[in-house]
C-alpha cells in the first residue's frame, strides 16, 4: 500500500477527479493531462516531469473502477441523469411591463430625430 503523494493537492480532490474520470465526465484535455500525471507522476501543468509513477493515484483509480456499478440499470440511470435537461422555472416579473408609447410620444421622437420641419412628417411632401 502506498501513501498519498500530493497529486491534485488534496486526497479528496484526487478521488473526485478519479471518479469523474471513471464516469467519463472529464473534459478531454483535462483527462489527458490528468492521465499523464498519474502514469508519469508529474503535475498536470508541469513542463518537465520525472519518470515515476503515482502509485497511490493508480491504486485509487483501480479501486474506483472496481467499485463502479456497471449494471445496465445503473448505467441507464447515470445516462438519464446526464442527458436530462435542467428545468428552468419562468422568471417572476417584479416590474410591471412598460406601457406602449402613445402616438404623441412616437411623433415627438420622430420629430426629434428628423427635425421639426421634415416634409414627410408634416404631411406637406412633394409626392
pLDDT surpassing 50 at residue 53: yes
pLDDT in tens, 64-123: 999 888 888 988 888 888 788 877 766 555 666 566 667 887 787 778 877 765 555 555
pLDDT value of residue 68:
84
Set of cell numbers at residue 113:
430625430
Q: Residue 13 and residue 19: Cα distance in Å, rounded?
A: 10
Residue 23: closest CA among 62, 79, 80: 79
Domain ranges of the chain: 11-82
pLDDT in tens, 40-50: 865 544 444 44
Q: E strand or H helix at 117, and its extent? A: none
Q: Residue 56 and residue 74: Cα distance in Å, rounded?
A: 27
Burial of residue 38 (number of CB atoms within 10 Å: 0-12, 13-18, 19+): buried
Amino acid at each position: 500500500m502506498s501513501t498519498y503523494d500530493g497529486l491534485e493537492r488534496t486526497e479528496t480532490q484526487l478521488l473526485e477527479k478519479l471518479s469523474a474520470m471513471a464516469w467519463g465526465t472529464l473534459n478531454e484535455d483535462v483527462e489527458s493531462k490528468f492521465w499523464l500525471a498519474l502514469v508519469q507522476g508529474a503535475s498536470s501543468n508541469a513542463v518537465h516531469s520525472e519518470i515515476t509513477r503515482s502509485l497511490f493515484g493508480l491504486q485509487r483509480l483501480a479501486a474506483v473502477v472496481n467499485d463502479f456499478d456497471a449494471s445496465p440499470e445503473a448505467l441507464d440511470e447515470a445516462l438519464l441523469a446526464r442527458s436530462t435537461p435542467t428545468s428552468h422555472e419562468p422568471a417572476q416579473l417584479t416590474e410591471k411591463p412598460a406601457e406602449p408609447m402613445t402616438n404623441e410620444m412616437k411623433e415627438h421622437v420622430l420629430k426629434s430625430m428628423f427635425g421639426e420641419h421634415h416634409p414627410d412628417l408634416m404631411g406637406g411632401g412633394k409626392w
